[in-house]
Structure 1
């Protein structure tokens, strides 16, 4: 199955889960290869472009966000675009290692070769008690029951 546009529901779902797994690997150099060299991003209030900026951004992200675990789900798609809903949990090394969960949406645009050429992310962090975590050690993020109240 091709993971380059045009997308079908099946290929869009596979693309989303591959991105989820890639980000859960937390390797900025490997992740940056999934984007075009001139890819443009908006991540919350940060605007960046290009592989070097992506690597730097992700390196700093995971210096702050320890114990990071992410789940992405397909929200919608067109021929060369995918929208994703996501949740991730982390310990904030800049805030006393408090547990936080980010809720958000991303929209992605893809080049003909299947690499992402544009990524926009909007997200909100919520402090949570450790007992409220979904993505604990050993749990498959894809199997966690996320209630409708959190979708």
Structure 2
């Protein structure tokens, strides 16, 4: 299965890949998101490690059960060959009603078919007040006219 755009990436195709990933994650559909990864994809996410699509699906399903009102923005940081570096921020609310903005970086490596074979994520959570939220679009895909991380000063 091929998942364009394919490496080696250009500035344009790397940015497209980042937006496609953002859109998928904002769907909060673990099965759909997992199809962007190789069957044996390896992840490091904070202090947890996932290997393969089944573990990715389980991880994402648990994540989105605990992170209500999840909205994410990703931004291209760098690219080279079959690798992309991304910075991101997402906002979410826990079961007590506390809002967070989570900031992080990801390093991605793709196979020749454009499937991600490695994902390394570093993430920090900042408690925020509801009035400090910046990601207020309806759940789902971020509108094209919504400001980017850089435009928001994040």
On whether the aligned pair clears a TM of 0.5, the verdict is yes
Structure 2 portions without partners, runs of 5+: none
Partner in structure 2 of residue 104 of structure 1: 104
Alignment pair present for 1:146 and 2:152: yes
Deviation >6 Å, runs of 4+: none
Structure 1 portions without partners, runs of 5+: none
Q: How much has 1:135 moved relative to structure 2?
A: 0.4
Q: How much has 1:23 moved relative to structure 2?
A: 0.3
1:115/1:23 CA distance change after superposition, 3 Å = same
Partner in structure 2 of residue 119 of structure 1: 119
Look up the SS of the partner of 1:123 in the other structure.
strand
Whole-angstrom CA distance in 2 between matches of 1:75 and 1:48: 24
Alignment of 1:1-150 (within 5 A): 2-93=4-95, 96-138=96-138, 140=143, 143-144=146-147, 145-147=151-153, 150=154
Please, what TM-score do these two structures have when normalized by structure 1?
0.92
Q: How much has 1:141 moved relative to structure 2?
A: 7.5
Whole-angstrom CA distance in 2 between matches of 1:140 and 1:99: 21
Q: Which has the higher contact order (CA 8 A, sep 6+)?
A: 2
Q: Number of aligned pairs?
A: 145
Aligned-residue RMSD, C-alpha: 1.3
Q: How much has 1:92 moved relative to structure 2?
A: 1.2
Whole-angstrom CA distance in 2 between matches of 1:44 and 1:141: 29
1:125/1:141 CA distance change after superposition, 3 Å = farther
